């Protein structure tokens, strides 16, 4: 006997989501959150034209009705303003909102127009068999109800018990239910159906009701209020609140009153004995396409041609509706969406919702935090921590503003780490446990505590980053990178000179651009900073912020490492030659110690570099890049007004004019002579470079972001109870770009 194969729930959920979404949800209006279905009651039409197969009807009014808010799946009192209708020439006439296939189309509604506070239309019936049956029933008075389907484009919500004036009309919401006034909407379809709500949405009569046929013998078939409610899917009267019960009772009484004077005679039930109840979808008069029972969903899926999967998919549709009913003002929409997408059962979804409510319920024992200037905010706490740890005042003011900074100075400057955890719980409106360890564990689960540390950590990281030495910026070119792939630094070099134009009509010749460039790419450099339970107990906020400053400094030092490593390693360029090459690139001078004569020679050779067109660039060097050991020599050589006995050359006599004074800027960098940093480092080697935009070495940053990023890091459940983890990272890379903009001189 073969064992049953266990189906993988993930593919099953995917099939259910795709299929039910297509058949049930997409069959409705385009955006479920902005849809409206309005049922309306009509009387026997005297405007019916058998030859033209038309009937005039009022298909919508401004009467308040109970609608379903599809964002929260709660009922609201809805008002559809006739003035808000977007003009539409024609909409399809459907059989009870059946949008699943073209077979449900019975004709069209045309000439939709505003008539005071009502919307009128001419209903045209097709000649197809189903439409003929419906039209005959309308003509005979058996089929009386129309319903409009609309897309909401703009609406105004009124909170329970509140009043608003909209377009000159005053609207007051019930005490226990919100009101939604729809000020702009687009008709999408009109349906002929069995049951409606709005007594004023009626077929137009030529003689104000003279042709209406009184119903005979109706009293004996009157339904009770309970039966009337059950028919419409409202359940028992005792399950309704007072406002709903009062409104529905009025609708019921009005319908009974109308039936006594104007309803058409009741035809006997002609349903074939062999017809299955599941073949017709009985919809609730709320017009909610999402509220369907098992048999309804099954019947719709059968009509869509998916009979084999109907039972399974219908069950999932009912599951989704049941989960949506768990939504409320204290439940995030993300929780409901996640439960549906993950395929949770109703019981599991209910447990998730309960967990969410417990974690986010308002604090009862924890009071709000108030200062002399009002309630404390997270920004005030962050500013206070920055003050406590001595962050520069201008940085605090620049980030938080004067008002927040002043209030933080009064109320938050002296908070300890434990005070901070307690404050985070209060800011989150959470209960504050009396036990310290329990309180710390609870605080670690709040967003407020993580945000406080990530925001203040970012400020201290940036303080260290900006204060660190960054000599590479004086001569390196900054470049963007859109991703981590290999990029090409393209440079267009002009080959030639401008040509003289002969006479007023002389020909202007085309110049030639030569494309040059080197490869470069970037990488990610990161480190974690853990703020643990021990830091809170030891009140080690200073240690944490000092570490953040140090990590900021290290981020800047990393960029320097990248730039100077590229310079010292003398990489191979795209032409197959090293960056510094005496014969091919003419930018390597040996036996050239730093003195008056050798500096003159180096400057001359730098200017004599040639472009792609073999023309001299004649561009002077801007930067003298030297190790620490050559600092004294370079400063005397570049800053003195007169020569004072420099070795070599003719200008050695005291009193001679210093021809190098202030012609070039010295940049002193310790890595150039640190052999522990790079094996090619030397205390006697010095360099000439151009300005940063000339790009001897390029420094690339992802999306041009040149500063490190501080984010919260979620490594797993083991860390959740232990503290807050911050991640500091920067995306950067360095590469040699232009050999003409750098010159190396060795002693």
pLDDT tens-digit profile of 704-739? 899 998 887 765 555 544 677 888 899 999 999 889
Q: Find, among 408, 392, 412, 443, the residue nearest to 721 by Cα.
A: 443
pLDDT tens for each residue of 171-190: 888 888 888 899 888 898 88
What mean pLDDT comes out for the span 66-80? 72
Token pair of 423 as six digits: 């404050």
Q: What is the pLDDT of residue 194?
A: 75
What mean pLDDT comes out for the span 19-38? 44
Q: Find, among 680, 736, 269, the residue nearest to 516 by Cα.
A: 736
Residues 6+ apart with CB under 8 A from 485: 521
What mean pLDDT comes out for the span 234-260? 69
Looking at every residue in the chain, the average pLDDT score rounds to 75
Is pLDDT above 90 for 487? no
**CA 594 → CA 597, 647, 654, 672, distances in Å?**
8, 10, 19, 15
Q: What is the pLDDT of residue 252?
A: 77
pLDDT tens for each residue of 91-132: 999 887 777 677 888 999 988 888 778 888 889 999 998 889
How far is 143 from 48, CA to CA, in rounded Å?
A: 13
Token pair of 607 as six digits: 């200017």
Provide the CB-side half-sphere exposure for 709 (13 A, CA): 15
Query: 562 pLDDT band (50/70/90 cuts)?
Result: very high
DSSP string of 102-160, one letter each residue: GGGEEEEEEEEEEETTEEEEEEEE-SSHHHHHHHHHHHHTS--EEEEEEEEEEEEEE-T
Q: What is the pLDDT of residue 4?
A: 39
Q: What is the pLDDT of residue 539?
A: 79
pLDDT tens for each residue of 495-512: 555 667 777 667 766 655
Q: Is-contact 734 698, C-beta < 8 A?
A: yes
Q: What is the pLDDT of residue 593?
A: 93
Query: 239 pLDDT band (50/70/90 cuts)?
Result: low
Q: What is the pLDDT of residue 89?
A: 82
Q: What is the pLDDT of residue 231?
A: 64
Q: Find, among 734, 382, 403, the residue nearest to 569 by Cα.
A: 734
Which SS3 state, helix, strand or coil, does residue 322 take?
A: helix
How far is 105 from 95, CA to CA, in rounded Å?
A: 6
Q: What is the pLDDT of residue 721?
A: 47
Q: What is the pLDDT of residue 712?
A: 77
Is pLDDT above 80 for 197? no
What mean pLDDT comes out for the span 152-167? 88
Q: Is-contact 592 745, C-beta < 8 A?
A: yes
Of 257-261, 269-273, 574-578, give the range with the top mean pLDDT.
Answer: 574-578
Is pLDDT above 60 for 368? no
Q: Which residue has the tokens 């070039």?
A: 664
pLDDT tens for each residue of 319-331: 888 888 788 767 7
Is pLDDT above 60 for 3? no
What mean pLDDT comes out for the span 71-93? 82
Percentage above 70 pLDDT, the chain: 70
How would you classify the pairing of strands 588-589 and 665-668? unpaired
pLDDT tens for each residue of 528-539: 888 878 888 887
Query: 244 pLDDT band (50/70/90 cuts)?
Result: low
Q: Helix crossing, 9-20 with 310-324: angle to 10°?
A: 80
**What is the SS3 assignment for 339-404?**
HHHCCCCHHHHHHHHHHHHHHHCCCCCCCCCEECCEECCHHHHHHHHHHHCCCCHHHHHHHHHHHH
pLDDT tens for each residue of 383-433: 888 888 888 888 888 888 888 888 888 888 888 888 888 888 888 888 888
Q: Find, among 265, 264, 240, the residue nearest to 250 by Cα.
A: 240
Query: 306 pLDDT band (50/70/90 cuts)?
Result: very low
Which range is least confidently modeled, 279-288, 336-345, 434-443?
A: 279-288
Q: What is the pLDDT of residue 443?
A: 85
Is pLDDT above 70 for 217? no
Buried b (16+ CB within 10 A) or exposed e, 684-720: ebbbbbbbbebbbbbbbbbeeeeebebeebeeeeebe
Q: What is the pLDDT of residue 290?
A: 37
Is pLDDT above 80 for 474? yes
CB atoms within 10 A of CB 359: 12
How far is 198 from 39, CA to CA, in rounded Å?
A: 7
- Each as own residue / partner, the long-range contacts of residues 355-358 (CB below 8 Å, 24 or more positions apart, any chain) are 356/331, 356/332, 357/330, 357/331
Q: Which residue has the tokens 């050559």?
A: 630
What mean pLDDT comes out for the span 283-309? 43
Query: 22 pLDDT band (50/70/90 cuts)?
Result: very low
User: H or E stretch including 608?
Assistant: none
Between the CA atoms of 240, 242, 246 and 252, what dihedral angle is there, to the nearest 10 degrees?
10
Q: Which residue has the higher pLDDT, 655 or 629?
A: 629
Q: What is the pLDDT of residue 471?
A: 93
Query: 140 pLDDT band (50/70/90 cuts)?
Result: confident
Is pLDDT above 60 for 43? no
Is pLDDT above 50 for 289? no
What mean pLDDT comes out for the span 343-363? 74
How far is 61 from 82, CA to CA, in rounded Å?
A: 7
Which range is least confidently modeled, 7-11, 428-432, 466-470, 667-671?
A: 7-11
Cα-atom radius of gyration of the chain, to the nearest Å? 40
Is pLDDT above 60 for 211? no
Provide the CB-side half-sphere exposure for 551 (13 A, CA): 25
Residues 6+ apart with CB under 8 A from 417: 535, 536, 537, 538, 539, 540, 541
Is pLDDT above 60 for 365? no
pLDDT tens for each residue of 585-634: 999 999 999 998 999 999 999 999 988 778 888 899 999 999 999 999 99
Query: 679 pLDDT band (50/70/90 cuts)?
Result: very high
Is pLDDT above 90 for 267? no
């Amino acid at each position: 006997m073969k064992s049953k194969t266990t189906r993988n729930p993930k593919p099953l959920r995917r099939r259910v989501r795709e299929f039910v979404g297509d058949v049930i949800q997409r069959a409705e209006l385009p955006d479920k959150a902005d849809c409206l279905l309005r049922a309306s009651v009509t009387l026997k039409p005297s405007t019916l034209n058998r030859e033209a197969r038309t009937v005039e009807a009022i298909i919508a009014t401004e009467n308040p009705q109970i609608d379903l808010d599809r964002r929260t799946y709660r009922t609201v009192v809805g008002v559809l303003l006739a003035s808000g209708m977007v003009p539409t020439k024609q909409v399809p006439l459907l059989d009870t909102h059946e949008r699943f296939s073209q077979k449900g189309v019975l004709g069209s509604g045309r000439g939709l127009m505003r008539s005071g506070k009502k919307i009128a239309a001419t209903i045209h019936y097709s000649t197809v068999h189903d439409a003929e049956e419906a039209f005959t029933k309308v003509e005979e008075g058996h089929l009386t109800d129309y319903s409009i389907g609309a897309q909401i484009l703009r609406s105004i919500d009124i909170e329970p018990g509140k009043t608003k004036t909209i377009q000159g009309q005053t609207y007051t919401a019930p005490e226990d239910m919100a009101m939604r006034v729809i000020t702009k909407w687009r008709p999408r379809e009109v349906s002929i159906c069995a049951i409606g709500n709005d007594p004023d949405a009626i077929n137009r009569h030529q003689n104000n009701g003279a042709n209406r046929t009184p119903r005979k013998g109706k009293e004996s078939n009157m339904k009770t209020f309970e039966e009337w409610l059950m028919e419409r899917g409202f359940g028992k009267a005792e399950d309704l609140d007072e406002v709903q019960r009062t409104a529905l009772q009025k609708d019921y009484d009005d319908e009974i009153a109308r039936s006594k004077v104007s309803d058409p005679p009741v035809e006997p039930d002609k349903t074939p004995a062999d017809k299955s109840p599941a073949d017709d979808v009985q919809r609730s008069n709320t017009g909610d396409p999402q509220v369907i029972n098992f048999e309804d969903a099954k019947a719709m899926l059968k009509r869509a041609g998916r009979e084999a999967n109907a039972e399974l998919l219908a069950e999932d549709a009912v599951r989704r509706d049941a989960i949506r009913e768990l939504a409320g003002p204290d439940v995030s929409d993300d929780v409901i969406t996640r439960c549906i997408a993950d395929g949770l059962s109703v019981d599991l979804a209910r447990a998730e919702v309960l967990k969410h409510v417990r974690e986010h319920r308002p604090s009862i024992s924890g009071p709000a935090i108030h200062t002399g200037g009002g309630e404390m905010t997270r920004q005030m706490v962050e500013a206070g921590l920055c003050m406590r740890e001595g962050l520069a005042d201008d940085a605090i003011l620049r980030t938080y503003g004067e008002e927040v900074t002043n209030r933080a100075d009064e109320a938050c400057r002296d908070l300890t780490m434990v005070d901070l955890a307690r404050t985070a719980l209060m800011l989150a409106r959470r209960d504050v446990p009396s036990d310290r360890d329990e309180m710390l564990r609870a605080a670690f689960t709040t967003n407020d505590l993580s945000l406080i540390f990530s925001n203040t950590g970012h400020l201290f990281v940036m303080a260290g980053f900006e204060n660190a030495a960054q000599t590479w910026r004086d001569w390196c070119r900054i470049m963007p990178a859109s991703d981590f792939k290999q990029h090409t630094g393209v440079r267009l070099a002009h080959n030639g000179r401008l040509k003289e134009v002969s006479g007023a009509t002389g020909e202007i010749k085309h110049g030639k651009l030569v494309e040059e460039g080197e490869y470069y790419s970037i990488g990610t450099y990161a480190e974690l900073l853990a703020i643990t339970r021990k830091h809170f107990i030891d009140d080690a906020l200073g240690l944490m912020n000092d570490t953040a400053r140090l990590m900021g400094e290290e981020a800047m030092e990393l960029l320097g490492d990248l730039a100077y490593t590229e310079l010292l390693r003398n990489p191979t360029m795209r032409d197959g030659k090293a960056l510094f090459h005496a014969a091919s690139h003419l930018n390597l001078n040996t036996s050239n110690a730093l003195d008056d004569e050798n500096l003159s020679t180096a400057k001359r050779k730098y200017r004599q570099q040639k472009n792609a067109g073999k023309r001299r660039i004649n561009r002077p060097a801007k930067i003298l890049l030297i190790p620490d050991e050559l600092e004294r020599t370079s400063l005397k050589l570049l800053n003195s007004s007169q020569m004072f006995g420099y070795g070599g050359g003719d200008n050695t006599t005291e009193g001679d004019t210093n021809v190098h004074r202030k012609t070039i800027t010295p940049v002193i960098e310790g890595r150039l002579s640190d052999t522990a940093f790079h094996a090619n480092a030397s205390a006697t080697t010095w360099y000439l470079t151009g300005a940063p935009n000339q790009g001897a070495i390029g420094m690339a940053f992802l999306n041009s972001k040149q500063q490190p990023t501080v984010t919260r890091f979620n490594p797993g459940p083991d860390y959740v109870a232990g503290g807050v983890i911050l991640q500091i990272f920067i995306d950067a890379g360095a590469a040699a770009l232009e050999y003409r903009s750098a010159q190396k001189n060795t002693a």
